[in-house]
Amino acid sequence: MAIHEECGIFGIHGSADCASDVYYGLFSLQHRGQESCGIATNDDAAIECVKGMGLVGDVLSHDKISNLKGDIAIGHVRYSTSGGSVPENAQPIVTQYSKGTLSIAHNGNLTNADSLKKELEDKGAIFHTTTDSEVIAYLIASKRSSTPSVEEAVKEVMGIIKGGYALLVMSPRKLIAARDPYGLKPLVMGKLDDAVIFCSETCALEAVGAEFIRDIAPGEIVVVESGEIRSVDSGIRRNMKKCIFEYIYFARPDSVIDGISVAEARRNAGRILARKHPCDCDIVIGVPESGIDAALGFSAESGIPYEKGFVKNSYVGRTFIKPSQEQRKQAVKIKLNPISSVVRGKRVVIIDDSIVRGNTIANQVNMLRSAGATEVHVRISSPPFMHPCYYGTDVPDEEYLIACSHTIPEICGIIGADSLGYLEPSDLDVMLGGDDFRYCDACFTGNYPER
């Protein structure tokens, strides 16, 4: 696996311990971004923000958290899909403007960010980051000067921006959540006593002991003020096209997104692989973490025993954040190590979530053979990548996608496997339990909801 992660957001309104709540929420969303993180709190219209490069536990120390006061807060964990990995691009973004102070946290990617930014710069706007999130913040602040409320400004901005996004906006009195018109990015709402929470995944609600209320609808704006919750129709809602890769890779398996269990979707993928690409093997293993549930599904359907074939070093960052191919190879060896006693002398089926360039899976196949596996059969719980993503998932251009220039038998030879099997795009509906194609699969099919 070598694609970029997304970001995670968490916001709470009405908690006397809001900074601590966001801190633990971000911990549970750390898998969505490991480059930078931050928390902004609102104490009677005074906004304080702590952010920096690194993991939640490293950046947000106890002393820093204890100094953040207020009853409204938003937080962010980041992997850069728009803008570089530099301190100034860390979120939340705090903006001072004519009406006061505004803070935002954003997951996703705008497809028209460059044109919007140029238009704003031509009018005299000065940007301090290279992110599309700052474009959103600037637009909201600009629209607020001519609208009666922050939520009306957000509504107007949603009619301008394009792409996939989940957005939290904190004003002096309100916490506002907004989801893009296709629902490409996940966003859920929960309650913790009298406090209202918005976050990227349900696992973050459970981390703070909150109750899940519902998913935010595509194109919906939800406003929390003085303990009251209001829903605002942006007027731009489209048919649901949630990101299929949340279920294949991004989300934690204990999350439920738009009513579908991530773990069950992955097990379904494994069951489909076992039916469509059977093989005569001794054990099934999964690449941690996203390949494990698919491997369990493959095992259940095929009758081939599941074994833990890899040990994962949890203290090593994701392999794709390494700047060079040689460093990526080394990181794979440090991050994953096969258990020789499990695979030695065995015919092994290895389940992974995807193949991008092919380097990572090739290294894993080689490690298994070096550990004594007599055969290595690869099964992938997604279709071949054929197209880039423009909505906040850094699936690269076609020239970097191995499936665009090689057939499946050729890929099998390149990665050194005895056989190779993928899902097909038509299998994804079954994977989600018959979800009637309410998802975006553009990285496999080229059928983009919007460009």
Helix 359-370 and helix 325-335, axial crossing angle in degrees, nearest 10:
40
Mind telling me the catalytic residues? 7
Decide if 23 contacts 39 (C-beta within 8 A): yes
Residue type (1 letter), 358: G
| Residue 162 in tokens | 């394009």
Pairing of strands 211-215, 220-225: unpaired
Q: What is the DSSP letter of 306?
A: B
| Residue 100 in tokens | 């006061």
DSSP one-letter string for 80-106: -SSS-SSGGG-S-EEEEETTEEEEEEE
Residues 6+ apart with CB under 8 A from 183: 217, 218, 219, 240, 241, 242, 258
| Residue 295 in tokens | 């491997």
Q: Containing H/E element for 122? A: helix 113-122
How many CA atoms lie less than 13 Å away from 77 in the CB half-sphere?
28
CB neighbour class for 386 (10 Å; exposed up to 12, middle 13-18, buried from 19): middle
Cα four-point dihedral sign 414, 418, 424, 427: negative
